[in-house]
Structure 1
Amino acid sequence: MQSLFGKRSQQLVGLDISSSSVKLLELSRKGARFNVEAYAVEPLPPAALSDKQIADPKALGETIARALSRAGTRTRQAAIAVSGASVITKIVEMPKTLSGDDMEEQIKAEADQYIPYPIDEVSLDFEVLGPSPKNSEMVEVVLAACRREQVEQLCAAVELAGLKPTVVDVESYALENACQFLQHQMPDGGRQKAIAVVDVGAAVTSMMILFDGKTIYTRDQNFGGRQLTEDIMRTYGMSFEEATKAKKSGSLPENYATDVLAHFVADMAQQIDRALQFFFSAVTQYSTIDQIILAGGCAQIPGVDVSIQERLQIPTVVAKPFAQMSIASRAKPANLAQDEASLLVACGLAYRAFDEEKA
């Protein structure tokens, strides 16, 4: 069984590869306190990835190498994540008396019940979560599977940059791992609270609902910052590259905030509201959300938390996972503060260096 979760290492960089950029983060820990040792964000050529699939491995490898150089880290082991339609996760129950080897054999034998691909075409792994709440003789086991071709392509691109991919995680698990670093922002630390963590990236918005710190619902929607870039292109007659540069540098006409940005933020609020309605319909015991935490590149829009809160009437904050960490000087604290909200997945992956439960 080819491992998907991988093994932990005390020296590890978290490498989040999205459709628009490569984000690299390295953490260290002294006692209970974490420290950001190094980080980098490097833009990715638009054609390098297409619908979560690697279209140009060489371009991706070169971008990862630039991020590695910019971060200035000597660590060469990486935790990466897979996502998209070819990733399948499922929680099943198995007898608690089974050994790890016996579980593996049983999962192999019954894999066709859980996975719609031939077993020899997937990378598959499992973790025991704990006792089943329904049956004391059983344990809950999470299965994770991904098309092997996707895993191998991703690992090959990472290796082109001189890194060794020692952990391959599932993106949603990495995001959940990072949420422990947001507890300081949650009411009552998230205890008995329903919290919506909304990661608005370049092309996809991922919503994760936590209750009492555990994931109870996830949903992805095709909406993100690329729509804002396209709005800028249409409004001001710019190319994609010009619009991207102008958006980042803030060198847009005075009417940008009212004529373009305000409409995008309104669309963003509508997308979040729509995702919440899907959640309320799917998980009917919940009818309210206690807080929204915004993450991803779009969370860096000035005042976006205030706008979302006013429109949805739900307390809203921007994710600050590093607020209670110390920051090494080479991690450029001022730059890190600007990118902080978009580094949640990278943070969850970097944490795998210390996460013994998922080793």
Structure 2
Amino acid sequence: MRFVMERMRLRMWRSGNLSPRRLFAGNRPGGNQRDGKRRRPGLVGIDIGATRVALVELEADGEGCRVCAFGIEPYAATRTAKNSNDPPIADAAAVGGAIAKLAKRARPRARRAAVAVSGAAVVCQVIELDSSYTDEEVASQIEVDADRLLPFPLADAAIDFEVGDLSPSDPAMAQVLLAACPQTELQRCSAALALGGFRPAIVDVRVLAMRRALAGIWPAGGECTALLELRRDAVTMALFAGAADVPLQCREDATDTRPGFAEDAGVETVRQRLSRLLHLQVASARESPARFLVAGEPTLTDATLDMLQQQTSADIEVVQPFADMTVSKRLDAEALGAAAPELLAACGLAMRRFDA
């Protein structure tokens, strides 16, 4: 199943008000960045991790695109709370400072940014609803079913959905991609971006952004593919059926992954997390992946590929999302290639510039 992303809208329920905005998705760029006489506005993909921020800016280049800015900036955030009874929250100033420092070094042209939400607080699933429903009726039905669908109160939720294809098991039903997260996640991202000198324009789901960045190199055919991301704060594995845009299943082994909370785990901890995810995948009785596409910090991918090869017979490939793109003459192409696996999510976010 593939979703037509350009119809997607954000529905934010807060105090009973419905506020539609553009959110999520988009396909691999093609054509020129001018649509008639209207020039597509610039957009920077900023991936806010628990211990670092990453940035990518793309522009149209004939039928493909060109990398015109990139970079990665680590940071060490402090933890603050209003009082001793409140849970600690990340220091947005530290994240914003890292973004500002990275922007000064990378020199992107645009100040509009696309960011992503991820982790246990994010809901991303396909549900089935009556195919005759209008967008307003879909929104109303999600609101009715919120207690069943969402792990947090509806009043605190930012919700988006996209109506896709008809259900293969019941033509009277349509498949609907539902994505939601707490409003506080959006507020945290917005605050950090503002402090870094950027204006939030688009919010995406991180695993969908990574999948989008691989659209041009995704394995053909109907085999199950696992997208594996290795970071010091978390290891994530998402299973995709064939060419699907939405994962069948997404698991993450991590400590608290909010910015500034994660421990800086060593290689052995990352290997242990990966091993647990692989065992869970086998125990779940899901279809075994025919291929693993590996992203994340280069030092971690190098240190874990041997273990992955020992525990699976699947094909293994370290991703290179910029392989089919040109690179601006002012950039270090070799450094971009070395950092590419860690820039996967930022690349997928930057590609939102080319949304229809």
TM-score, reference length from structure 1: 0.78
User: Equivalents in 1 of 2:169, 2:308: separation in Å?
Assistant: 39
**Against the structure 1 CA distance between its residues 274 and 300, is the aligned structure 2 distance closer, same or farther, given a 3 Å change threshold?**
closer
The residue type paired with residue 344 of structure 1 is L
Corresponding letter in the other structure for 1:219 = R
Aligned partner (choices 204, 207, 219) of residue 172 of structure 1: 207
Q: Which amino acid aligns with 1:41?
A: I
Structure 2 partner of 1:249: none
1:208 correspondence with 2:238: yes
Name the amino acid aligned to 2:46.
L
Q: Which amino acid aligns with 1:33?
A: G
In structure 2, the CA distance between the partners of 1:140 and 1:31, relative to structure 1 (3 Å rule), is farther
**TM-superposed deviation, 1:91:** 2.0
Which residue of structure 2 lines up, in the alignment, with residue 152 of structure 1? 187
Describe the superposition over 1:5-27 as per-residue Cα deviations: whole angstroms up to 9, x where unpaired.
62786421111010111101112
Establish whether residue 222 from structure 1 lines up as the match of residue 264 from structure 2: no
The residue identity in structure 2 corresponding to 1:351 is: M
Counterparts of 1:110 and 1:291, CA distance in 2 = 36
Quote how far apart the aligned CAs of 1:69 are.
Answer: 1.5
Q: Which position in structure 2 is the counterpart of 1:101?
A: 136
| 1:45 is the counterpart of 2:76 | yes
Distance 1:296 1:44 in 2: 17
Residues 123 and 148 in structure 1, CA contact (< 8 A), matched pair in contact too: yes
- 1:36 equivalent to 2:67? Answer yes
Q: 1:281 to 1:31 in 2, by over 3 A?
A: farther
- SS of equivalent residue, structure 2 residue 168: coil
Q: Equivalent residue of 1:25, what SS?
A: strand
Please tell me the residue identity of whatever aligns with 1:328.
S
Deviation at 1:77, TM superposition (A): 0.8
Indicate how the Cα distance of structure 1 residues 110 and 292 shifts in structure 2: closer, same or farther if over 3 A, else same: closer
| CA distance in structure 2 between the aligned counterparts of 1:117 and 1:225, rounded to whole angstroms | 26
Given candidates 18, 26, 31, the residue that maps to 2:57 is 26
Q: What do residues 44-90 of structure 1 show as CA deviations (whole Å, max 9, x unaligned)?
A: 1143799xx85111111111111112121120111111112222223
Number of residues paired by the alignment? 312
Match of 2:225 in 1: 195
**Number of the residue aligned with 1:293:** 293
For 1:334, the equivalent position in structure 2 comes to: 334
Greater fraction of residues in helix: 1
5+ long unaligned stretches in structure 1: 184-188, 229-260
The residue identity in structure 2 corresponding to 1:196 is A
Partner Cα distance (1:332, 1:133) in 2: 47
Q: Cα gap change, 1:4/1:299 in structure 2, threshold over 3 Å: closer, same or farther?
A: farther
Select which of 276, 284, 291 maps to 1:282. 284
Question: Is 2:158 aligned against 1:141?
Answer: no
- Provide the alpha-carbon RMSD of the alignment: 2.8
Separation in 1, partners of 2:108, 2:143: 39
Q: Which residue of 2 aligns with 1:319?
A: 319
TM-score, structure 2 length as denominator?
A: 0.78
Indicate whether 1:14 and 2:45 are aligned.
Answer: yes
1:4 and 1:280 mapped to 2: Cα distance?
39
Counterparts of 1:89 and 1:306 in 2: how far apart (Å)? 31
Q: Mind listing any 5+ residue stretches in structure 2 that lack a counterpart?
A: 1-10, 13-19, 27-39, 82-87, 256-261
**CA-CA distance at 1:153 after TM superposition:** 1.9
Q: CA deviation at 1:304?
A: 4.9
Determine helix, strand or coil for the equivalent of 2:351: helix
